[in-house]
Amino acid sequence: MNLKPLSNRVFLEPLGEEKTTKSGIVIPDTADKEKPMQGKVLAIGPGKLNDKGERTPMSVKVGDTVLFKKYGPDEIEVDSKKYLVGDEDDILAIIE
């Protein structure tokens, strides 16, 4: 799959939460169906145009792990796998 997002769009692979607690308790998949808030950047757009018609560079790059707004990105399905697409503004932080 080769995707090229437009403008300041970011294509993310959602990252699941830990399935086992620190004390060793296994949490089943059915326990929590909240939207993930972490993801890996798979593709980015060229950046948004400013008032002068120049591209503003993106602050994230492909491969970054990011923290994003819970209900910011839209969920899409490609080849039976779920992904997220949102604006760069939906990203709150880069996780290092």
Domain with residue 74: its CATH number is 2.30.33.40
Can you give the pLDDT at residue 33? 57
Can you give the pLDDT at residue 44? 95
The string of pLDDT tens digits covering residues 13-47 is: 998 755 666 777 766 555 555 666 899 999 999 99
pTM: 0.77
**26 inside domain:** no
Average pLDDT, the chain: 85
* DSSP 8-class letter at 34: P
Closest CA to 86 of 73, 70, 77: 73
Residues 6+ positions from 91 with CB-CB distance below 8 Å = 10, 59, 60, 66, 67, 68, 69
Q: Total domain count for the chain?
A: 1
- 26 versus 63: the higher-pLDDT residue is 63
CB-based burial of residue 14 (10 Å sphere; 0-12 exposed, 13-18 middle, 19+ buried)?
middle
Can you give the pLDDT at residue 92? 93
**66 inside domain:** yes
